Amino acid sequence: MGRFLLRRLVHHLVLVFVAVTLAYVLASLALDPRSRYEGRNPPAPPAVIDAQLSEYGVNDEDPLPERYVHWMGGVLRGDFGTTVTGGSINDELWSRALVSLRLLVIGSVLGAAVGVLVGVVSAVKQHSFIDRLFTAVSFFFIATPVFFTAVLLKFGALQVNEAAGETVLFYTGYETPGLEAGFWGTVTDQVAHLILPTLSIALGLTALVSRYQRNAMLDVLNSDFLRTAQAKGLTRRQALYRHGLRTALIPMAPLLAYSFGTLVVGATFTEKIFGWHGMGEWVVDSITRDDINVTATVALFTAVFVLFAALLSDVLHAVLDPRVRVTA
């Protein structure tokens, strides 16, 4: 099993490298930091602009491979370079990463767990009212883009707050700036900020996972081995718990790995809409600012996040299913 995971890790690392390289090349070709300097008033002499751009490593006159190797070399030493205005990326990176991770980790764990639960209940109670309700709701959220869900949630929160007469659910930022409320006060405040953005990315995931989980569970409910388990003397319920659930979870593991990509995209919208200063907001802003290094850095962060998620789902898969431990 150790070797299996090691192989997967190497595999994922290669993919991360390819993804980041592509992101860097693409950003370098599409973004034009020079324009930011040329448009200045008073106009700066071209030589000065060139020198400035070269110093930041984003001069389009320098050969692309050279710039790429330079940036990559820095990254390997833990230096992500400078922003287009000369600030250090490293300074900003960690605080933003923490903000995004809080959203992504809680959102994905919550989304997947609730999705599995909803799927199992739907399958066991197939054709019942609750099954049909879950089906309708999840199709709604699968069909709805994240930004629409987010705006909807924001609107809902407004109603709640109005009804409550005070701000119960916050929809801007991830904490109240300058709040002095002691430890518990801070926690409550942060949770109140977290609820809406987390919901907006978790709902889509829940909806998707619950559909797949329902199908996987239905397969198991009709499976021969469940019948064998009952023939041995288990009641249907016991057979379901001891033999069915774990088997039904197996197809979820790879699904989760794939859905993290979409999750990150969703998080980008969510951060922008709820005013979270995370990685998603950063990448959107830096594209409009023609900032190559930041764009590539965020791509790297995303790739690494997806790598960990994929690795986690590999571990999960191997733990659940003895059949993959020997193959692959």
Residues within the interface to another protein (CB under 8 A):
7-8, 10-11, 14, 223-236, 238, 242-243, 246-247, 250, 320-323, 328
Contacts 24+ apart (CB under 8 A), 300-306: 300/16, 300/20, 300/23, 300/75, 300/80, 301/93, 301/97, 301/100, 302/264, 303/15, 303/16, 303/19, 303/20, 303/23, 304/16, 305/101, 305/104, 305/260, 305/264, 306/257, 306/260, 306/261, 306/264
Cβ 1 to another protein shortest distance, Å:
13
- Nearer to another protein by C-beta: 70 or 227? 227
- Nearer to another protein by C-beta: 142 or 311? 311
- Nearer to another protein by C-beta: 23 or 226? 226
Environment class of residue 282 by beta-carbon count within 10 Å: exposed (0-12), middle (13-18) or buried (19+)? buried
Cβ 20 to another protein shortest distance, Å:
16
Nearest to 53 by CA among 75, 79, 32: 32
Cβ 239 to another protein shortest distance, Å:
9
- Nearer to another protein by C-beta: 123 or 150? 123
**How distant, in Å, are the alpha carbons of 174, 193, 195 from that of 182?**
17, 17, 20
- Nearer to another protein by C-beta: 165 or 322? 322
Cβ 90 to another protein shortest distance, Å:
31
Q: Which residues partner with 82 through β-bridges?
A: 88
Cβ 293 to another protein shortest distance, Å:
28
- Three-class secondary structure assignment of 164-182: HCCCCCCCCCCCCCCCCCH
- Nearer to another protein by C-beta: 14 or 64? 14
- Nearer to another protein by C-beta: 11 or 36? 11
Q: Could you write out the DSSP letters of every residue in 73-122?
A: HHHHTT---B-TTS-BHHHHHHHHHHHHHHHHHHHHHHHHHHHHHHHHHH
The total of other beta-carbon atoms located within 10 Å of residue 318's CB is 18
- Nearer to another protein by C-beta: 244 or 266? 244
Cβ 139 to another protein shortest distance, Å:
25
**How distant, in Å, are the alpha carbons of 1, 159, 263 from that of 116?**
26, 30, 17
Cβ 117 to another protein shortest distance, Å:
20
Cβ 129 to another protein shortest distance, Å:
17
